[in-house]
Chain A
C-alpha cells in the first residue's frame, strides 16, 4: 500500500500557464523534507512552440510540443543522481535526454546532458538545472528546469509532480496445474544473507516498485496442464497460453507482462526459466520459470534447503522479468547492441547475474545480495527511452509505427495508404507514387481542411527499407495553404497522391528490396495513422540499367522528379534524356519524359547570376518549346496509358492529364485536349485494381471535361 501522502493521481492535468502558478519566494520557501524523485509533467494543449519560452526549432517538425516529461532521480530507493526527459511533439516526434546530476543547493541540482535521442537537432542544450519548489503536498510540488548551452537561448520549463514512479508496470502471474507461484519471500528465512538485509516479506511487486515502477498486479489463475505436451512446456505452447490466458494480451507495446510458473520446459531440468516471448511481432511480453528444474535442487550441505529453493524460485522470477524489461545478463552487457556503452558486471549482485557464476558461487552471491538490480540496470529501466525498455516494443518502426502518436481508439477518420496496382511492385528506378485516402468512418459529418492531404506540415511519412533504420521523408518544399474547410459526410473520402521516393535527403527508395511506408496525419488534436504498406522494388533488368541507375539516383534527379522538371539542373536533365533513349520501354522513362517536357511547355524564368556584369542578378526568360513539350508529355501520358496510369497512380495521372489538356487548349489545340481526356477516360474505365473499378462519378467528370474541350471552337 502506498502512504496516503504519497498518493498522486494519474490522468490529464489541467492546463496552467506559468503566470497563473503561485510561487513561493526564495525567502519564504522551506526546504522540502520529503523525497522529490519521480515523474513530473507539463502538458500544453493548444500551445504552439516558437514563443520565447519554447525555442524548439523547426527541424523534423517537433513543434507543437504536446507533452513533456521529467524524471528526477535523486532520492528514494537506489537514487541514480540522474534526470531524464522526453518531449513529445506531433505524431511520433520526440526528444529524449538524460543528464547526470550533482547537488547545487537546497533542493537544487545541476548537470551535463550526456544522452540525446530522437529529433535532438531541435534540442541543442548541454546543461540542465533543476530546482524543486512547493509545499509538503505532492500536488504542490513543482520542478523548475532550466536548459542552457549549445548556443541556444535559455529554455525554462515548470513541471508538475505526477508520481513517485517513473513508469507503470502491470504484472499478471499465472501457473500451470500443479505448479506453485512464488510471489513473496521471507528475506531472512535463509541464514546466508547480508547482515544488513532488512527482514521482510518481500514481494516481486515491491522489488520492481523499488526499481521505480508503479506496479499493479492483476489476479492470475491456473492454466490447464493439457495445454502442454506431457506437462513439458515448449516456447510455442507458452506463447499460445499467454495469448489465451493473459487478460492484458495485446499485439502492441505496453508496460505489462505475463509471468508463468510451470514445472519443466521441454529442454529439461537444466532450464530454470526463460523469457520465451521472441515469437511474433511483439517480444518480451511473457516470461516463465520452471519450479521443478535445477532451481529446485539445493546444493548438498545447504543449511536450509527449503528456504534455498524458495529464494531461488523468487530470484528466478525477478531475473526472467528483468529480461522482459530488456535487461541482459550481467556478464553480457557489452554483447549485442547496448543502448549506451556498458560494462560487463560478472560479479554484480543483481537479479540479472547467475548466482552460480560469481567467484565463490551461490554462497558468495547471496551473502552479498540485496534483492535489487545494479545501478547500470536501474539507469536503463528508469531513464532509457521508453521504447528500449517497454515490453512488446522494438527498434523504431520494426513491426510497429507511431506508437507515440496521439491515436485514440474510436477515431472518426481513417487513413489508408495504397499503391493503386494489383501488386505493390515497382520497377528499378521507377519513382514510387502512392495514394492516400482519408475517410469519414463515423456516423457524423466531419470538418477537415480541403487540402489536408497535400499539406506536408500536417503529415509525417516514414520510409523503411528492410534491414535498415526507418527514415522520415522530408519534402523538398513545404506548402502552406489558406485554410479551406470541407465537409466529409459519413462514408465519404478524400484522396491525394504521394510521391515517396525522393525528399531532402535524396532518394529514400532506390535499391532493390522491400520497403515499408507509413503515414501519420495530424487532424485537429488527433493523429491519424495509416496502414504500414509494404512495397517491393525490383532489381535492374540489365547491366546497362544498373549503370544508369548509379547516375539516376542523385539529388539533382530527385529534385527534377519532385518538382516536375527543371531547366537549371542540366546534369540531371542529361541523365533523364539518357533514360528516355536507353530505357524507352521502362516505366522510369515515362517520368523522365514528363519532367523533360513539362518545363518546355511554358516560358521559363531563370535567375542568372553574373557578378561581373552590369546587373549581378537578372531574370532571363527561356522561351517555351511547344512542339517538343507536346511530344514528350504526350508520349509520357498517352502513348502507353495503361503503364502510365499505373506508374503515376490514378490521382496523379488524372491531374497531369488534366493539366496537359488545359495546356493544349490554351495553345489552341482543343481537339488534342479532348483526345487526351478521351484517353484518360478509356484508360481509367478499363482499370480494375483488386476488383475495384474507378468510381462512376469520376468517369462522369472526365467525360464532362472532354465534352467541354470538344465543344470549343477549333476542336
Chain B
C-alpha cells in the first residue's frame, strides 16, 4: 500500500463528496465547502494499492463525477476541483495553498 494525497480544491459549496478506489468507497463527507481565499476545501490521505488504481470521485450534490487512473508512485498528489460542470484534475508536485 502507498499514500495518495487528495486535495478538494475549488468549486465545492456544502457538497457531498464520495471517493472510490477500485470500486471500494474510501471517503465520504458532507458539507464540503471551498475556502476560496486558499482554493481548498479539504485534504486527506488515502491508502491505496501500489501501482495504477482506478480513482472515482462523485459529487452527487452537483451531479458531477469523474473516473481517472492514477499511480501514487508517479503522482502522489491529486487536486480535484468542480469547474464548468465537471471535475478538473491536476497532479501537482506538492500540495501548497496560499
Contacts and interface: CB of A to CB of B under 8 A. Distances in A.
Given A271-B38, A275-B37, A329-B39, A335 B11 contact: yes
Contacts of B97: 270-272, 274
Interface in A359-404: 361
B98 interface: yes
Query: Most chain-A CB neighbours within 10 Å: which of B38, B43, B98?
Result: B98
A269 to B, nearest CB: 8
Interface string B8-20: 0011000000000
B35 to A, nearest CB: 8
Nearest to B7: A270
A320 B36 contact: no
A263 interface: no
Contacts of A534: none
A361 B36 CA distance: 22
Nearest to B81: A331
Nearest to A353: B98
A37 interface: no
B36 A356 contact: no
Given A335-B10, A356-B92, A316 B39 contact: no
Interface string B69-89: 000000000000000000000
B98 A272 contact: yes
Contacts of B38: 271, 274
A87 interface: no
Contact of B43 (A270, A273, A323): A270
A332 B98 contact: no
A268 B94 CA distance: 13
Nearest to B38: A274
A323 B11 contact: no
Nearest to A327: B37
Interface string A237-278: 000000000000000000000000000000000111111001
A271 B97 CA distance: 5
A319 B98 contact: yes
Nearest to A329: B39
B24 interface: no
A353 to B, nearest CB: 10
A332 B39 contact: yes
A274 B37 contact: yes
B37 A294 contact: no
A362 to B, nearest CB: 10
A295 B37 contact: no
B93 interface: yes
B90 to A, nearest CB: 8
B94 A294 contact: yes
A319 B98 CA distance: 8
A354 B10 CA distance: 14
Contacts of B92: 356
Contact of A270 (B10, B11, B37, B95): B95
A278 B98 contact: no
B63 interface: no
A280 interface: no
Interface string A24-47: 000000000000000000000000
Query: Most chain-A CB neighbours within 10 Å: which of B37, B43, B92, B96?
Result: B37
A316 B98 CA distance: 7
A154 B38 CA distance: 47
A331 B92 CA distance: 16
Nearest to A272: B98
User: How extensive is the interface on chain A, given as a class?
Assistant: 20 to 34
Query: Most chain-A CB neighbours within 10 Å: which of B11, B38, B43?
Result: B38
A273 B98 contact: yes
A328 interface: yes
Contact of A354 (B35, B43, B98): B98
A296 B36 CA distance: 23
A336 interface: yes
A336 B96 contact: no
Contacts of B36: 328-329, 332, 335-336
Nearest to A352: B98
A271 B11 CA distance: 19
B10 A332 contact: yes
Nearest to A269: B96
Nearest to B43: A270
Given A332-B10, A335-B11, A295 B96 contact: yes
Nearest to A315: B98
Contacts of B11: 335
B71 to A, nearest CB: 21
B13 to A, nearest CB: 10
Interface in A319-364: 319-320, 323, 328-329, 331-332, 335-336, 354, 356, 361
Contact of A274 (B43, B94, B98): B98
A274 B97 CA distance: 8
A672 B18 CA distance: 75
Contacts of B95: 270
A413 B94 CA distance: 59
Interface string B37-51: 111000100000000
A318 to B, nearest CB: 11
A273 B38 CA distance: 8
Interface string A522-535: 00000000000000
Contacts of B43: 270
A335 B43 CA distance: 21
Contacts of A271: 38, 96-98
A399 to B, nearest CB: 18
A559 B37 CA distance: 47
A356 B95 CA distance: 10
A363 to B, nearest CB: 12
Nearest to B39: A329
Contacts of A332: 10, 36, 39
B93 A323 contact: no
Contacts of B10: 331-332, 335
A182 to B, nearest CB: 14
Nearest to B5: A270
A311 to B, nearest CB: 14
Given A273-B98, A332-B10, 19 more contacts: A270-B43, A270-B94, A270-B95, A270-B97, A271-B38, A271-B96, A271-B97, A274-B38, A274-B98, A278-B35, A293-B96, A294-B96, A295-B98, A316-B98, A328-B36, A329-B36, A335-B11, A335-B36, A354-B96
By Cβ-Cβ distance, the 8 closest A-B pairs, closest first, are A294-B96, A275-B37, A272-B98, A273-B98, A270-B95, A323-B37, A319-B98, A271-B97
16 contacts: A271-B38, A271-B97, A271-B98, A272-B96, A274-B38, A289-B98, A294-B96, A295-B96, A295-B98, A320-B98, A328-B36, A329-B39, A331-B10, A335-B10, A336-B36, A354-B96
Interface of A: 270-275, 278, 289, 293-295, 316, 319-320, 323, 328-329, 331-332, 335-336, 354, 356, 361
